Amino acid sequence: MGYFDNMPENNTKPHAATFLATCPDRPGIIAAIAQTLYQKGINIISSDQYSTDHKDGQFFIRMVFDLSDNQVDHQELEKDLAEVASKLNMLWRLTYSNQLKRMALLVSRYDHCLMDLLWRWQSGELAVKIPFVISNHPDLKERVEAFGINYHHIAITPEAKLEQEAKILAMLAANKADFIVLARYMQILSTSFTQHYPNQIINIHHSFLPAFIGGNPFAMAHKRGVKMIGATAHYVTSDLDAGPIIAQDVTQISHRDHVEDLKRTSRDIERNVLARAVRWHIEDRIIVHGNRTIIFT
């Protein structure tokens, strides 16, 4: 059990709700949402919006509502917002601040991204529950369990890959995982797996996509003589390393750096980029539109 899993479920009214939505751009969208909230006495804490600037553009919005001193019934609020959304041809979702997301972690042998996320979680920086860590190797068991989190070793073999993935999916479902983070999980997930969690699987790739995709980007980058390297966090789709990009960063390198130098430098970037993407996902700051992301920071 993890630290947040030892806490009782909070059945009180949440402090805040976050509303994310997108629809075809038109006049009066913000006014329609604001009027619905005003009629219920709900105060808007923050609002951010973006619209594409071409004809027949798309509108995106993130609002945070204050519900701390309000007796609004959740079902009634959601029903009223659904009515507005229907009129606007809007895709939307509403989340509550006291309902912590459940984040499952998958990892292989590299520990830097995993340990960074666990430290951020332990320190309270990432407000999630972590039901377990799954790995295709036993190496990190003691280090993970020192955080009070269950560690499951499920070996992956080519002959039984789908069967082993089915075990993982069953564990995710049984533990009500909301999303998955691949903290350097060195396995390619099958399409049948990724379809269960659309835009809910975050991967960190140790290169600046779309350059140097695949499993050995450092050797390719070194051979090419690049002068900067980076890392990319993205949602996982059935296409390898081609899902919607969430966060990226780069740093300068020189001709003096060897492949091992690139790897060491990259680990620092990977930790920060993955943590940033995970935090944005937890805080409902991301809208996926096609193969792009709109991120409200």
The tens place of each residue's pLDDT in the chain, 297 residues long, gives 444 444 434 434 458 999 999 999 999 999 999 999 999 999 999 999 999 876 669 999 999 999 987 678 899 999 999 999 999 999 999 999 989 999 999 999 999 999 999 999 999 999 999 999 999 999 999 999 999 999 999 999 989 999 999 999 999 999 999 999 999 999 999 999 999 999 999 999 876 655 666 667 767 766 777 777 888 999 999 887 789 999 999 888 867 777 777 777 878 999 999 999 999 999 999 999 999 999 999
Question: Which ranges in the chain belong to alpha helices (H)?
Answer: 29-39, 74-88, 112-122, 141-145, 161-174, 191-194, 217-224, 259-282
Distant-in-sequence, close-in-space partners of 131: CB < 8 Å, separation ≥ 6: 2, 5, 102, 104, 150, 175, 176, 177
Averaged confidence pLDDT in the chain: 89
The CA-based dihedral angle spanning residues 131, 136, 141, 144, taken in that order and rounded to the nearest 10 degrees: -40
Q: Answer yes or no: same fold for 16-96 and 101-295.
A: no
- Cβ pair 59, 22 in contact under 8 A: yes
Tokens 């009782």 belong to residue = 8
The two structure tokens encoding residue 13 = 């009214």
Candidates 25, 116, 178, 241; catalytic one: 241
- Cα–Cα distance between 181 and 192 in angstroms, integer? 17
Contact yes or no for 133/144 (Cβ under 8 A): yes
**According to CATH, what is the number of the domain 16-96?**
3.30.70.260
What are the domain boundaries of the chain?
A: 16-96, 101-295
Q: Which CATH architecture has domain 101-295?
A: 3-Layer(aba) Sandwich (3.40)
Amino acid at 38: Y
Active-site annotation holds for 241: yes
Q: Which two tokens stand for residue 174?
A: 């049984």
Model confidence pTM above 0.85: yes
d(CA 171, CA 251): 38
